Amino acid sequence: MSTTKLGFIVQRPPYKSENPKLALTHAISSQSVEVYLKDGDIVTADIAFVGDGVLNCVKGQKAMEKYALSSTETHIKNSLLLDLNVMVCKEDLARLGLSENDIVMDAEEFGAEVTTKVVPFSEITKMMEEVNHLLFF
């Protein structure tokens, strides 16, 4: 039995490129990776939004209404539903004039039990040091 920890760092803003959404879909795929692994082996995914990447977390996105696309907000909620560790950099939120009231903090309507964690960058750094591999998006 073995665990490999992956850290997904999202630093780009939403919708300008495909990267943030790909970060989330790849992180979510950690839930089905066992089909390729031996019994008991798992891959975990932590997601951290930093820099302009925190803009991905703004709530009330209208991607479905405007572009007929699933929103990044929905992907974040799906991540919470799957108990992924979703972290948002506190300092970068403040820099952009945002607070917890402006971003996706939970997915209660999906039945998610975990919530988004707004944390100082030092905590994100700690996560980055603890994982086996980092992926920057």
**How far apart (Å, rounded) are the C-alpha atoms in residues 27 and 46?**
8
How far apart CA 45 and CA 85 sit, in angstroms, is: 7
Per-residue binder mask for another protein (CB under 8 A), 93-132, x = binder = ---------------------------------------x
Look up residue 81 and give its two tokens: 């539903």
Q: In what order do the strands lie in the sheet with 133-136?
A: 117-119, 85-89, 42-49, 3-10, 133-136
- Rounded to a whole number of angstroms, the minimum distance from the CB of residue 45 to another protein is 8
Q: Which of 26, 114, 117, 119 binds another protein (CB under 8 A)?
A: 26
**Residue 135 sits in the site that holds another protein (CB under 8 A):** yes
Place of tokens 């939403």: 14
- Nearest-approach distance from CB 8 to another protein, in angstroms: 9
Can you tell me the distance from the alpha carbon of 44 to that of 30, in angstroms, rounded to the nearest whole number? 6
| Cβ atoms of 9 and 121 closer than 8 Å | no
Binder among 13, 15, 18, 102 for another protein (CB under 8 A): 18
49 touches another protein by CB under 8 A: no
Residues of this chain that interact with another protein (CB under 8 A) are 2, 4, 6, 12, 17-19, 22, 25-26, 29-30, 32-33, 35-37, 41, 43, 45, 132-137
